[in-house]
């Protein structure tokens, strides 16, 4: 059905571009005028409602329509160019007729193009700043502009299809509240990040969990502290939630170093009795050999300068006592192995872990694209930062993999970059993780 509408839209746009030929070739006025009026009305409607899409989200209807308009622009421009060349070769028209045809075609195609490009620029979450800027900068350069236009069309079409599929899944289970667990869910971030309303560390995941009935809270610990100090802040947060809500226990979903912080809080700070489950995500339970080697090789004065720069910057965004070196130092292999000796799992808490693997340096964005080959050399298969072996903890470990060369990185697994990855819907993945906890009685 989609392609039928796309074909119909294309034929109408081409018809609108070629209206002058109706008058030039027919020798009549009334019939071409009637056809022109109908084509004009259809042209306006197409530019307002390009395509019919089954999704409840207006944003993605606009995005899908914009991508379609850009594709139609490419096709109709090609057809118009071919027709114009044939007109020139035939030599059967007056000069003013060539001009009228060219102006009409340019105006029609320009209207379609600008409508489409504005739609996708304003609504796409996957284009990114780089492609937007390059598309604008090279828009006036022949051939190069076509290359970038096809990139924009491809990416926005995939995004629209991805989001429409996701919305269909959500619509099918609307009202079921499959994530309404017995205990609320506490989301615990990793090192170098804070919980923010404007830019959520967990990307689109919290919205999806809440939509499916989950009650969510955030750890709110500082971005860079030792495991011990982060755990102390986390323990205070856990007890605060228990006191304010009377929920008795919570489920923890912790990413990266947040998993170490959570384990310490449960075992050493008397929080095990308040926690029903701990699910760690890409947590370096056995540490990072790569980080250990950096610590050993970097001169102390360089380490101190890096720490001073980070600590100063993090204070600006809300940290009170940041400690860069303590935070990074606790990610070393030796530090984590020592932690594991002294921080046993708590009886009565269900521990499980999730991990992901990147396939190559190009799998992720900076700085994981740079770190990946070094981590692979020292630690083996990894997500750009943490090895797969280091991620394993608890009764069950699940590894996220996708087909092809892309992989899922340390940032992808929590939707930090809001990037759609073919074969891995990060929102749906965590919806199912929390739904499983509900089914287990947690």
Domain boundaries along the sequence of the chain = 2-170, 177-439
Q: For residues 136 and 138, give the distance between their C-alpha atoms in angstroms, rounded to a whole number.
A: 6
**CATH second-level architecture of 177-439?**
3-Layer(aba) Sandwich (3.40)
In angstroms, rounded to a whole number, what is the distance separating the alpha carbons of residues 289 and 50?
53
- Determine the Cα–Cα distance for residues 387 and 394; give it in Å rounded to an integer: 16
SS3 44: helix
Candidate from 46-55, 221-230, 271-280, 409-418 with smallest mean pLDDT: 46-55
1 band by pLDDT with thresholds 50, 70 and 90: low
Q: Which residues pair with 415 in a beta bridge?
A: none
Helix locations, 212-299, DSSP H: 227-245, 257-268, 289-297
Averaged pLDDT for residues 390-415:
94
CB 418 within 8 A of CB 204: yes
* Mean pLDDT of the region 295-301: 90
pLDDT tens per residue, range 184-199: 999 999 999 988 766 7
Candidates 78, 63, 70, 69; CA nearest to 46 is 69
Confidence band, pLDDT 50/70/90 cuts, at residue 397: very high
Q: What is the rounded CA–CA span in Å between residue 126 and residue 159?
A: 7
Cβ atoms of 384 and 410 within 8 Å: the answer is yes
Assess contact for 115 and 69: CB atoms under 8 A: yes
Per-chain mean pLDDT for the chain: 93
Handedness of CA 369, 218, 420, 68 (dihedral sign): negative
**Secondary structure E strands in 168-306:** 185-188, 216-218, 250-255, 275-281
Could you give the C-alpha distances from 44 to 13, 38, 50, 304, in angstroms and in order? 10, 10, 10, 63
Q: What is the pLDDT of residues 314-330, one digit of tens each?
A: 998 889 999 999 999 99
pLDDT in tens, 145-169: 999 999 999 999 999 999 999 999 9
Contact 386, 430 (CB under 8 A): no
Q: For the segment 104-135, what is each residue's pLDDT rounded down to a tens digit?
A: 999 999 999 999 999 999 999 999 888 999 99
Quick check: 366 pLDDT over 90? no
> What percentage of residues in the chain have a pLDDT greater than 90?
75
Residue 28 has pLDDT above 80, yes or no: no
Whether 63 contacts 160, CB under 8 Å: yes
State yes or no: pLDDT of 23 exceeds 90.
no
Taking only the tens place, the pLDDT of each residue in 407-436 is 999 999 999 989 999 899 999 999 999 999
Please check the confidence at residue 373 and state whether its pLDDT lies above 90: yes
């Amino acid at each position: 059905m989609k392609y039928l509408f796309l074909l119909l839209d294309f034929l109408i746009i081409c018809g609108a571009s070629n209206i002058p030929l109706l008058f030039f070739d027919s020798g009549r006025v009334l019939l071409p005028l009637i056809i022109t009026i109908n084509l004009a009305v259809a042209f306006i409607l197409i530019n307002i409602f390009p395509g019919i899409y089954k999704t409840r989200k207006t944003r993605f209807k606009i995005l899908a329509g914009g991508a379609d308009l850009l594709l139609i622009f490419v096709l109709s421009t090609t057809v118009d160019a071919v027709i114009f060349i044939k007109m020139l070769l035939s030599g059967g028209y007056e000069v003013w007729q060539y001009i009228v045809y060219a102006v009409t075609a340019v105006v029609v195609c320009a209207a379609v193009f600008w409508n489409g490009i504005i739609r996708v620029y304003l609504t796409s979450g996957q284009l990114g700043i780089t492609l937007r800027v390059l598309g604008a900068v090279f828009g006036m350069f022949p051939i190069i502009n076509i290359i970038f236009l096809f990139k924009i069309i491809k990416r926005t079409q995939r995004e629209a299809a991805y989001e429409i599929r996701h919305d269909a899944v959500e619509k099918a289970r609307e009202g079921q509240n499959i994530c309404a667990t017995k205990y609320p869910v506490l989301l615990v971030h990793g090192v170098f990040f804070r919980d923010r309303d404007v830019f959520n560390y967990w990307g689109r995941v919290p919205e999806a969990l809440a939509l499916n009935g989950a009650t969510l809270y955030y750890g709110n610990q500082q971005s860079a502290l030792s495991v011990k100090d982060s755990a102390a802040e986390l323990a205070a947060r856990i007890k605060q939630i228990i006191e304010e809500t009377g929920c008795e226990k919570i489920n923890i979903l912790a990413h990266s170093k947040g998993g170490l912080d959570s384990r310490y809080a449960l075992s050493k700070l008397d929080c095990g009795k308040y926690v029903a489950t701990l699910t760690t995500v890409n947590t370096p339970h056995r540490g990072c050999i790569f980080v250990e080697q950096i610590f050993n090789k970097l001169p102390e004065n360089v380490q101190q300068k890096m720490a001073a720069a980070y600590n100063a910057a993090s204070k600006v965004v809300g940290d009170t006592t940041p400690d860069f070196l303590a935070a990074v130092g606790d990610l070393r292999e030796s530090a984590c192995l020592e932690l594991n000796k002294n921080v046993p799992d708590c009886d009565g808490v269900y521990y499980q872990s999730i991990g992901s693997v990147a396939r190559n340096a190009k799998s992720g964005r900076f700085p994981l694209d740079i770190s990946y080959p070094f981590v692979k050399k020292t630690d083996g298969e990894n997500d750009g930062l943490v090895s797969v072996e280091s991620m394993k903890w608890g009764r069950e470990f699940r590894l996220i993999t996708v087909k092809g060369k892309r992989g899922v990185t340390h940032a992808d697994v929590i939707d930090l970059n809001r990037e759609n990855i073919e074969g891995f819907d990060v929102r749906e993945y965590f919806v199912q993780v929390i739904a499983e906890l509900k089914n287990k009685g947690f």
